[in-house]
Amino acid sequence: MRVALFLTCVNDTLYPDTGRAVVKLLTRLGVDVDFPMAQTCCGQAHYNTGYRHQAEPMARHFSDVFGGYEAIVTPSGSCGAMVRELYPRMGERARAEGRGDTLAATLAPVVPKTYELTEFLVDVLGVTDVGAYYPHTVTYHPTCHGLRSLGLGDRPRRLLQSVKGLELKELPGADECCGFGGTFAVKNSDVSAAMGADKVRNAESTGADVLCAADNSCLMHIGGTMTRLRTDMRPVHIAEILASTEEETHA
């Protein structure tokens, strides 16, 4: 199976390790991964801040780049939700505004083929044990778009539970937002920081060494808060946990 990796602009620029982990993991599972070099950004920040018309060419570009692939895999719940939930809406609104079906038709092919990483592993590849080894205590933060827009459910937790050496701790208040919310973090900095601090305190109360999530944007916010609050916990993307193996840990 040949899939396209939609890494997202944030991961490409700031978290290349996550990208390398996804490539390593999928390759190990026998998937042929391609990274279309023309990819940029899904347009989520523009759309959610109110610049909907500016997000449209970005969505069209996304479809041009990814339309030809069998499946599109992304290690980001919120960017996955952008494509799956909001691209159809962009098409509908263009129609409602009398601009015809062109946008809807352009965007339609990528919508059902876009999978968030854990969804792809569990639903498409049908695996929960990816042969990973990670000797740490981990707590999992589900992230809002993964939880509510994509409905990832217990997929990430099933994957984590199958990781050798990993001890999973329940996170109190797991389904509460960490306070990132893109531009919300800047526009409502006080509230955002308070939400982040509560998330970190809840995570600390589990005694885990690692807080894991399937979205680096949330992890950036949570990790940044951890640094400022001087906790010993580390934020780690789930792809990096699932990509780890016993051999390399002992090497």
Partner 1 sequence: MSGGTFVGMPSFPKAAHEAVHNQTLRGNLRHATHTIRAKRANAVAEVSDWAELREAGKQIKDHTLRHLDRYLVQLEESVTAAGGTVHWAADADEANRIVTYLVKATGESEVVKVKSMATQEIGLNEALEAEGINAYETDLAELIVQLGKDRPSHILVPAIHRNRGEIRDIFAREMSEWGRPAPEGLTDTPAELAEAARVHLREKFLRAKVGVSGANFMVAETGTLVVVESEGNGRMCLTLPETLISVVGIEKIVPTWQDLEVFLQTLPRSSTAERMNPYTSTWTGTTDEDGPQTFHLVLIDNGRTDTLADEVGRQALRCIRCSACLNVCPVYERAGGHAYGSVYPGPIGAILSPQLRGTQSEIDASLPYASSLCGACYDVCPVAIDIPEVLVHLRERVVEGGVVTRDGAKVVLKPAKGHAAERAAMRAARWAFGHPGALRTGQRFASRTRRFHPRTLPGPGKAWSETRALPAVPAEPFRDWWQRTHGGKDASK
Q: Does 80 bind partner 1 (CB under 8 A)?
A: no
Closest CA relative to residue 127, chosen from 214, 33, 34, 26: 26
Closer to partner 1 by CB, 14 or 167: give it: 14
Smallest distance from partner 1 to CB 227, Å: 4
Stretch that binds partner 1, among 106-114, 132-140, 153-161, 177-185 (CB under 8 A): 177-185
Toward partner 1, which CB reaches closer, 41 or 121? Answer: 41
C-alpha to C-alpha distance for 56 and 64, rounded to whole angstroms = 12
One-letter identity of residue 62: F
Q: Between residues 164 and 228, which has the closer beta carbon with respect to partner 1?
A: 228
Identify the residue among 2, 99, 164, 228 touching partner 1 (CB under 8 A).
Answer: 228
Q: Which of 76, 39, 44 is nearest to 220 (CA)?
A: 76
Cα–Cα distance for residue pair 152/136, rounded to 1 Å: 23
Given 79, 104, 121, 195, the residue binding partner 1 (CB under 8 A): 195
Q: Which is nearer to partner 1, 19 or 80 (CB)?
A: 19
CB of 73 to partner 1, least distance (A): 13
Beta bridge partners of 73: 5, 115
Rounded Cα–Cα distance for residues 25 and 27 (Å):
5
Query: What is the smallest separation between the CB atom of 167 and partner 1, expressed in angstroms?
Result: 27
227 touches partner 1 (CB under 8 A): yes
Q: How far is CA 57 from CA 42, 53, 133, 247, in A?
A: 10, 8, 42, 45
Residue 96 contacts partner 1 per CB under 8 A: yes
Q: Which of residues 102-141 bind partner 1 (CB under 8 A)?
A: none
Spatial separation of the C-alpha atoms in residues 192 and 211, rounded to whole Å: 18
The one-letter amino acid code at 112 reads P
* Residue 53 binds partner 1, judged by CB under 8 A: yes
By CB under 8 A, the count of residues binding partner 1 is 71
CB of 154 to partner 1, least distance (A): 17
Q: Write out the two tokens for 40.
A: 């940029």
Which range touches partner 1 (CB under 8 A), out of 40-48, 112-120, 133-141, 154-162?
Answer: 40-48
Contact between 50 and partner 1 by CB under 8 A: the answer reads: yes
Distances (CA, A) of 181 to 44, 75, 193: 11, 17, 11
Residue type, 71: A
Considering only residues 7 to 26 of the shown chain, the ones binding partner 1 according to CB under 8 A are 7, 9, 11-17, 19-20, 23-24
Q: If binding is defined by CB under 8 A, does position 33 make contact with partner 1?
A: yes
**What is the CA 145 to chain-centroid distance, rounded?**
9
Question: How far apart (Å, rounded) are the C-alpha atoms in residues 162 and 179?
Answer: 29
